[in-house]
Structures are given as structure tokens and as C-alpha cells.
Amino acid sequence: MVGFGGTGVMLLGVVAAAIACGLLGLALLRPLGWVSAASIAGFLWAVAVIGLVTLVPTSAHTGIVPAETRMTTCSWDIGGPAPDGFWIFESGQRTLNTVLFVPAGALLVLAVARWRAGWLLAPLGLLGLAGYSALIEKTQLELARIDRACDVTDIIDNTTGAVVGAVIGLCLLPVLQPWRHRAQHGSRPSSVRGSS
């Protein structure tokens, strides 16, 4: 059986997503300005990283999880014991689950702030991030092969991280002012007008 997973696969995915989102950011740079372009590209990259870290198996050889040992429901032990972090991280998993969503929350606010509908898009985006977390947990429950556990506490921690990130994004708005960075649409100098 060919194994898939582990730190190397996650890092490769993170780099590939960074390249794709970086190219998108470059494409958006001229029409939206650097703050919005970087925020949109960064938000999409953060969402991709979340998916990679939570859905790629932590080991390439997790083996087969027997049907009789597979969880049939998510754990509802809110705030219950959580394993230590994995990888190169030294913190507990609850802290990691919270921190993982902070960049997405902050970049979401910065990405939508240039539009008047941003006051509506930001809360909807936070609901979307909470839904994304729930979808990840549901996927972890259904795909026993990835050897992950579905836990409602993770959804709470993820959503908390997104909200903390949104507050950080709101604090950065007066400094970065994404609405002030407008595209330069090739305006001609006034001395050129009227020439025939």
C-alpha cells in the first residue's frame, strides 16, 4: 500500500499553495492595491494551510483503522483532555487549534474592508470559517483512514481563533487603510489633453 501523509507532504502542500496564492496576489495588485491583494491571497493561503494541517495524515503509514474501532460520533467532551501538539510545535493542541485560525480571521477583515459591504462580508466570512471548521471535523469523522479524531472542542477553539484574528484585523485597519490603495488606471497628464 502506498502511504500518503506526514510532515513532508504537508510542507509541500503549504509551499504549493503559497506559490498559487502569491501569483493570485500579483494578479490582483494593480486593480486592488497591495493591501487588498496581499490580504485576499493571504486569506486563501491561510484557508489552504488549515486544510492541509488538519486533513493530511500525520504519518504516511497510518495503516487501516478497523471499522469496529472507528468513532461513530464526534466527541462532545467540551474542553476535555487534548493531546499535545504535533510536528515542530511545542504547545498543546487546543492552543494550536486556536492559533491556526487567527491569520484567516485577520486577513478576512483586511480583505473585505475596501468595500462598503465589508461590514456584512466580515461576519459572514467568520460564519464561513466556523462552518469550514465543522466540515473539517465531519471529514475527520468520516475518513477514518486519515487517523484524526472529530471533536466539538476543536470547532470552538477554531472559531475563537478566527474571532481573535478578526479583532486583530480591525485593529490593523486604521494603520493599513486598504480602501486608500486604489488602482492607477493609466491616467494621462493634463498637458496632453486637447492635442490633436
Binned at pLDDT 50, 70 and 90, residue 86 comes out as very low
Check residue 59 and give left, alpha or beta (phi > 0: left; psi -120 to 50: alpha): beta
Mean of the pLDDT values across residues 46-55?
A: 94
pLDDT higher than 60, residue 177: yes
Mean of the pLDDT values across residues 134-151?
A: 80
Residue that the C-alpha cell 502511504 belongs to: 3
Give the separation between CA 192 and CA 168, rounded to whole angstroms. Answer: 46
Binned at pLDDT 50, 70 and 90, residue 150 comes out as confident
- For the chain, the farthest-separated pair of C-alpha atoms sits apart, in whole angstroms, at 84
Which pLDDT score, from 0 to 100, does residue 144 have? Answer: 65
**Residue in 162, 159, 50, 54 with CA at minimum distance from that of residue 105:** 162
The Cα-based distances of 119 to 57, 113, 115 in angstroms read: 37, 8, 9
Average pLDDT, the chain: 82
pLDDT higher than 80, residue 75: no
Mean of the pLDDT values across residues 93-113?
A: 93
pLDDT higher than 90, residue 41: yes
Binned at pLDDT 50, 70 and 90, residue 147 comes out as low
Binned at pLDDT 50, 70 and 90, residue 110 comes out as very high
